[in-house]
Amino acid sequence: MSKRHTVTLHHVITVYNDMFEHMDGVMRALSRKKTPWKEDLFFAVKLARQKLSKYYAEVTPTTGMLLISVHILDPFRKL
Amino acid sequence: MDINPEDQTSYTAQYQEAFLKYVENEYCAEHRRVPVNKLETVPTSNLVPSATASGSYQSSFDPYDLSSDDEEYLTPNDVVETTPGPSDRAARLLTAARLYLNSPPEAPKNWGQINPNLNDYHSDQMEISSTFWIPDITDWWRQQEDTHSKYADLSNVARDIFSIIPHGFGVEASFSLGRDVIGWRQSKTTGETLREKVVVRQFARANNGVLAGTDPELDTMNTENDSEMKKEVEERKLHGMAKVHDFLEMWQGSQNLRVTQKESRAQNKQMTAVGYISDTEEIVKSSWSLFQHDGAAAFKLSEGSPLPPALSAKDLPGGQTHILNVRRIRRINRHPVESDKDSAPESISDTEGWLNWNGDLDNPNDSEDDCAADDDSDIEHNNCIEDPECPEQQDVSAAPNVPRLVRPTRKSKRQAEKVLVTVNAVETRRNKGGKKK
């Protein structure tokens, strides 16, 4: 994102959503695995999702309507 | 923002309502405060129908008029109330916002400015790649503004919001700090250690890169460090001084040694001057009279003898051996076959004379005691074979040790040589006798 020369603010929530969906998919795939390293990976992804949820919950109260507005103003995604 | 998480309505509807309220409060309210000049002061030529103002009224205004507080800039003196009323503009802005929210998202393929090679934007929206950041929405909003589309008013809102920079170098650095602290090969570093390192770095950044160890005020161990540093400096100085002291001591020792050598040299010169024994003077001053030796007699004996003078001397310790040899030759001469008394002394050949080079020492009339003594000496001589210091014994023992081999001893060799010499002498004598006859 830091290499972009254009507006990237409207990608914040999109990136968050993509990361949540990716973690959910990994956790679904690893939920029934019994291999030690897969269990460890499942546990690590679970902790990462908790950490990301903590940050995501503070996005809207901190930034107010900024991220929501830019996401709405993205003509290719909107809401 | 009035977002109720417990509300059963979808978040999308709530966010849309919140966005409309935001636009109404932030932009429509600002728009209502814009002063409007009287209609009398406005030239007729500048009047624009309100019906067409929706598309072209912003040509005389700065596009940032909706978000800026610069009243003077927004209301030039020569501008009359050619634009629609504030209420109309606010209503039109809200209408445009609602229309924008109700319209479906724009497809990149329908946008003429987009690169056709990048139409795979929606092919995989989950993938964050280089195409994820395309298309650029700023171009889309700029196009809406240039074409005076129905979203022209809303483009000002978008311009204001998208100008906000959500991230900066500090944020990026904070995310990259973990990799700076822990490399790829530090996999065993615990999270607590990482946290402490990050805290220390942040503390250093907050203090302009000054850590506790470099800042004397923040360093609680400052006094101890100073004392340790002073001790180290003191030890270094003492070490250097010790080296200099050793060098000076060595130099003084060499000086003392040089002085001592000079003094001893002078003493040696004095001793030489008093009368030091010289090798040259000793050679010159020495004479034969100082030696206890028969001297000239020994040289006379050696002149008449083919052997070395040392062997012809009477005082040789091994002279008895030669006497024994002469006696045995005499015995051979007294062989019954060769018992010619007259011719015997004269028939001694040169070879026999060589063997009897000390014949004057040997008396042919020796008694049997003398012969016995000679035998004793011979025995002693034979015993010499068993002497480990005798070189001849070493020669004999050097022969190969072959079993059942009768090795000739020195004595047998000597006897064989004597017999051979005797036989030769007898043959010579016979030859001479035959010639006389």
Cβ neighbours of residue B68 closer than 8 Å, sequence gap 6 or more: B62, B74
pLDDT at B100: 87
Residue A3 forms part of a structural domain: no
Cα atoms in the 13 Å half-sphere on the side-chain side of B320: 14
Q: Where does the pLDDT of residue B232 fall: very low under 50, low under 70, confident under 90, or very high at 90 and above?
A: confident
Scanning the structure block, which residue is given the tokens 């000679």? B374
The yes-or-no verdict on residue B6 having pLDDT over 90 is no
Of A36-50, B16-30, B68-82, B172-186, least confident by mean pLDDT is B68-82
Question: Using an 8 Å Cβ cutoff, are B16 and B9 in contact?
Answer: no
Position A16 in a domain: yes
Averaged pLDDT score across all residues of chain B: 63
Q: Which comes out higher in pLDDT, residue B24 or B300?
A: B24
Q: Of A32-36, A70-74, B175-179, B247-251, which one has max mean pLDDT?
A: A32-36
Q: Does A64 touch chain B (CB under 8 A)?
A: yes
Whether A24 shows a pLDDT value over 90: the answer reads yes
Asked if A12 has any chain B CB less than 8 Å from its own CB, the reply is: yes
Q: Provide, as residue numbers in chain B, all residues whose Cβ is less than 8 Å from the Cβ of A10.
A: 137, 162
B141 touches chain A (CB under 8 A): yes
Residue A54 lies in a domain: yes
Partner-chain residue, chosen from B136, B157, B167, that has the shortest CB–CB distance to A6: B136
**What's the total number of domains in chain A?**
1
Whether residue B288 is predicted with pLDDT greater than 50 in this model: the reply is: yes
| Residue span of the structural domain in which A29 resides | 9-71
Is A64 contained in some domain? yes
Tell me the nearest-neighbour CA distance from A53 into chain B, angstroms.
15
Complex prediction ipTM: 0.78
pTM over 0.90: no
User: Phi and psi for B403 in degrees, rounded to 5?
Assistant: -65, 145
**Least confident segment among A41-45, B42-46, B291-295, B430-434:** B42-46
Q: By C-alpha distance, which of B276, B314, B307 is closest to B293?
A: B314
Q: Name which of B105, B132, B161 is nearest A75 (Cβ-Cβ).
A: B105
Residues 164-183 on B with a CB inside 8 Å of A are 164-167, 172
Q: Do B121 and A12 touch (CB under 8 A)?
A: no
Q: Is residue A2 part of a domain?
A: no
Among partner residues B3, B104, B161, which is closest to A66 by beta-carbon distance?
B161
What per-residue confidence (pLDDT) applies to A41?
93
Tokens at residue B383, please? Answer: 């015993």
A10:B135 CB<8 A = no
Asked whether the predicted pLDDT for residue B378 surpasses 70, the reply is no
| Domain-located, residue A79 | no
Q: Would you say residue A26 lies in a domain?
A: yes
The alpha carbon of residue A32 is apart from the nearest alpha carbon of chain B, in Å, by 24
Polymer length in residues for chain B:
437
**Tens digit of pLDDT for each residue in B110-152?**
444 444 444 444 444 444 555 555 667 888 888 888 888 888 8
- Quick check: B366 pLDDT over 60? no
